[in-house]
Every structure is written in structure tokens, then in C-alpha cells.
Amino acid sequence: MALLEVRDLRVAFNTPDGVVEAVRGLSFDVERGTTLAIVGESGSGKSVATQTITGLTRGARISGSARFDDTELIGASTKVLQKIRGNRIGMIFQDPLSSLHPYYKVGWQIVEMIRAHDHRISTAAARQRAAHLLSLVGIPRAESRIDDYPHQFSGGMRQRVMIAMAMALDPDLLIADEPTTALDVTVQAQVLEVMRNLQEQYGTAIILITHDLGVVAEMSDEVVVMYAGAVMEKGARRTIFYDHHHPYTEGLLASLPAQGDIGARLTPIAGAPPSLISLPAGCPFAPRCRYAFDLCWKETPPLAEVYDDPTHLSSCWLSSNREMRHLDREHADETDAQAQAAEPEEWSA
């Protein structure tokens, strides 16, 4: 059994403009000791989904299920959730400065967190553990830096402190929500390295939420691609990068600047993501999809197996046969080339 099983999760918020359906039927599993990457652009619902699982969304309309090791998290009491959060599910967020309390010493914050979950541990022992954790994530002179305040640490160091805190109680699952987005690339490389080492050492499962496909390629075992609150495609890392089925995944990868193709025009996805208020029927990606046909506008495609691979799911009406899908692609390339020759570029939507 998987460590975390999310089934048909739906999250909606009431706003003055109408109901925002942030997550619309999300299902995925996280296996022990593996990394699941959730990729998507802003507004795809990737953060809301994981925040809902850990009970951090307020005032939302939630349905569906999220079973964590036999405990149902959706609708669980605060008491149950508090026991699991920190203890069994650790979390790190994008902005390490606002995740740490500026008034308290870093060590104190870790000690407090350890003691909140383990009432029997002495302050001294907890402090020792905190120092050990800080050295584990690569903070030099951890014993003395434990008495520093958050502002005395750099951005990368703060994110290490956050990881130390999230790992303090040896959780089974670490949810990392854009953990390196605010960091420079060389510092990002350091932080990813720390996460990789900890996973190897402790067998922690990781949900990595990111918009950076480069980070996904480096870190993940499995990938979930989200768009407009729903899963577009799901599969093993190499499958998603080299053998994807869904036009959105294809478009995302194609829009990245390729190596050795300097100065050439890129292939963007036309248009912009839809508003999540009163989404029309059909596939949410249809308005931007170069393959869209009648059915796409009428009915939402189910998340179904493609290319005869039970671990590879795609939510798309295009043929699940690899050869047929390839023909579709060739056909679309031809029509696009003709259209481009015939008329100048349209205004952006």
C-alpha cells in the first residue's frame, strides 16, 4: 500500500467573484522513500492540493479522500492532524524567511517543535538533537549557530533550517512546496543536494511541488502534471520527459529554450491559463491545444492509461496508441505550418 493515497480531491473557495474551483478531482499515490513531483504553472492548484491534505486550507469546500498510512486526513480533527503534521509529515515552503519567527532563536524554534510532539524529551536533549539536525543539513558550527536569530542566516541557510525542522521528527513524508524557487541556482543546488542526501539516509518520501521542469528532471521518481486544478498526465520521470502523451506536457517541454538552438524562436503554448471561476465543460486545456477537436470542447476526458503502460495516465481524448498519437502530431505540425504560411500571427488571447 502506498504511503499516501489521494483520491478525487476537490477544493473550492467562495470568493466575491464566484466559486473558484482550485482543485478538481485530483488523485495520486506517494510510495515510501520515493519523490513525487507535482508540476504546474501558477494557479494550477498544486499548492492548494497539498495544503488541503495537511489541513491548512481554511474556509474551503473540500471533498474526496487522502489516506495517509491508514489515517484519513480529509475531515480529520485538528488533534489528529496536529499529531501527524510535523511528526509524520514535514513541510517546507517557498519563503524561508516568513516561515521562521524573527523574534526567536533558530535553535529555540526547533527545540519547541520537537518538544511539542515529544513531551518526555528534556530540553537539553532536544537542543542536542536540534544541533545535530543543523549539522546534518550542512550548517557549519551548528552548536553555536543554534543561538542565532533567523536574520543572521542567508536565504539558503534559512531554507536548510526549515529542512532541519521539517526533518526533526524523522517524518515519513516531506512536502516541499517550491523549496528552491526563491534561491539562486548555486544555492538551489546545495539545498537539493541536502534533500537528496536526507532521503537516502532516512528513506523519507517527498512530494516536491515546483514549476521548474529542470528541478523535476533532477529530483523526481514520478511526475504529476497539473493544469487548471486537474491532473493532465502522470507517469514515471523518464516517461513524462521522453514519452509524454498529453498536449500540455508536450507544450510545456517545447516552450523551454533548447540547448544549441540559440536565437531561434521558441514554441510557446498559445493563449493563457483559464480562470478557475465557472470553467466551461470539456477539457480545460482545449482552448490552448493544437490538437483540440469537437469532443474536447464538450466532455472532460478521464485520466486513463496510455501507451499500454499501467503507470502512465493521461487525461486526453487523443488516441492512447503511440503510433496513432504520433500521426496526430505529424498532422498538427503540417496544419500549423500551413496556417502560419497563410496568415500572420494572431493577437494574444
Partner 1 sequence: MSDPLLRVEDVVKTFPVRSSSLFDREHAVVHAVDGVSLEVMPGETVGLVGETGCGKSTLARCIARLYPLTSGKVWFQGKDISNLSRGDLRPVRRDIQMIFQDPYGSLNPRRRVGSIIGDPFTIHGIGSRKEIKTKVQDLMETVGLNPEHYNRFPAEFSGGQRQRIGVARALALRPKLVICDEPVSALDVSIQAQIINLLIDLQDDFGLTYVFISHDLSVVRHVSDRIAVMYLGKIAEVSTADDLFGTTRHPYSRALLSALPLPDPDVADSRERIVLVGDLPSPTNPPTGCRFHTRCPKAQHDCVVTDPPLEPVFDDPPTHRTACLHPLAVGEDLALAVPHIEDSEIVADDTTEGGAPLTERS
Q: Is 212 in the site for partner 1 (CB under 8 A)?
A: yes
Cβ proximity of 27 and 9 under 8 Å: yes
Backbone angles phi, psi at 213, to 5 degrees: -65, -25
12 membership: H or E segment, kind and range: strand 4-15
| 319-348 footprint of partner 1 as x/- string (CB under 8 A) | --------------------------x-xx
- Considering only residues 1, 16, 17, 42, which one is a binding residue for partner 1 as defined by CB under 8 A? 42
Provide the b/e sequence for 273-293 (b: ≥16 CB within 10 Å).
bbebeebeebbbbbbbbbbbe
- Considering only residues 186, 308, 342, 343, which one is a binding residue for partner 1 as defined by CB under 8 A? 186
268 or 280: whose CB is closer to partner 1? Answer: 268
Q: Is 217 in the site for partner 1 (CB under 8 A)?
A: yes
d(C-alpha 206, C-alpha 214), whole Å:
17
d(C-alpha 220, C-alpha 233), whole Å:
15
Decide: residue 88, CB within 10 A, 0-12 exposed, 13-18 middle, 19+ buried: middle
64 or 179: whose CB is closer to partner 1? Answer: 179
64 or 156: whose CB is closer to partner 1? Answer: 156
- Considering only residues 67, 115, 117, 273, which one is a binding residue for partner 1 as defined by CB under 8 A? 273
**C-beta of 232: minimal distance to partner 1 in Å?**
13
Cβ proximity of 305 and 320 under 8 Å: yes
- Considering only residues 272, 281, 327, 337, which one is a binding residue for partner 1 as defined by CB under 8 A? 272
Q: Is 190 in the site for partner 1 (CB under 8 A)?
A: yes
**C-beta of 280: minimal distance to partner 1 in Å?**
18
CA distances from 93 to 47, 154, 321 (A): 10, 16, 39
**Which part of the chain contacts partner 1 (CB under 8 A), choosing from 97-105, 188-196, 317-325, 330-338?**
188-196
1 or 185: whose CB is closer to partner 1? Answer: 185
Q: Is 296 in the site for partner 1 (CB under 8 A)?
A: no
Q: Is 184 in the site for partner 1 (CB under 8 A)?
A: yes
Render 212-256 in DSSP notation, one character per residue: -HHHHHHH-SEEEEEETTEEEEEEEHHHHHHS---HHHHHHHHTS
> What is the number of other CB atoms lying within 10 angstroms of the CB of residue 338?
9
46 or 85: whose CB is closer to partner 1? Answer: 46
| 220-249 footprint of partner 1 as x/- string (CB under 8 A) | -----------------xx--xx-------
CA distances from 108 to 115, 123, 126, 143, 279 (A): 10, 10, 10, 12, 47
Residue 301 amino acid letter: P
Residues in contact with partner 1 by CB under 8 A are 41-42, 137-141, 152-157, 160, 184-190, 192-194, 196, 211-218, 237-238, 241-242, 251-253, 255-259, 261-270, 272-273, 345, 347-348
